[in-house]
């Protein structure tokens, strides 16, 4: 699976579970350890965790194992490192605060 195929598959998984405002950012020219960021918002801390769990579950079914995850205990920002794709799942407040789209689209 190419990095862009993986990013779109992750976006599809998130949207099927009702993630809000899911975006794919091409960061290959700006970030050396990933080609794409997939950014999404959950409606609550429980939803943020459920979205992250679902992405991990579905990727494992495709034999794509996330290398690591961070933030599952906080549930306001969960990061899944899928190698060439980094997944950021935020609460609305955290997404507004960190504004990764603005930071990485310069």
pLDDT digits (tens, 9 = 90+) for 40-70: 999 999 999 999 999 999 999 988 877 777 8
What are the structural domain ranges in the chain?
A: 3-101
pLDDT band of residue 1 (cuts 50, 70, 90) is confident
Alpha carbon distances (Å) from 89 to 29, 35, 44 = 22, 17, 11
* Burial (CB count within 10 angstroms: exposed 0-12, middle 13-18, buried 19+), residue 99: exposed
**pLDDT given for residue 106 in this prediction:** 54
Alpha carbon distances (Å) from 79 to 10, 90 = 13, 9
Q: Residue 42, CB half-sphere, CA atoms under 13 Å: how many?
A: 26
Say which CATH class 3-101 falls into: alpha beta
Q: Please state the pTM of the whole predicted model.
A: 0.91
């Amino acid at each position: 699976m190419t990095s862009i195929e993986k990013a779109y598959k992750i976006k599809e998984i998130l949207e099927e579970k009702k993630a809000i405002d899911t975006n794919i950012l091409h960061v290959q020219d700006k970030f050396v350890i990933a080609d794409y960021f997939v950014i999404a918002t959950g409606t609550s801390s429980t939803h943020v965790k459920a979205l992250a769990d679902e992405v991990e579950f579905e990727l494992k079914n495709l034999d794509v194992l996330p290398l690591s995850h961070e933030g599952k205990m906080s549930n306001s920002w969960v990061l899944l490192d899928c190698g060439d794709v980094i997944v950021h799942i935020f609460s609305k407040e955290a997404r507004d605060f960190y504004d990764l789209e603005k930071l990485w689209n310069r």
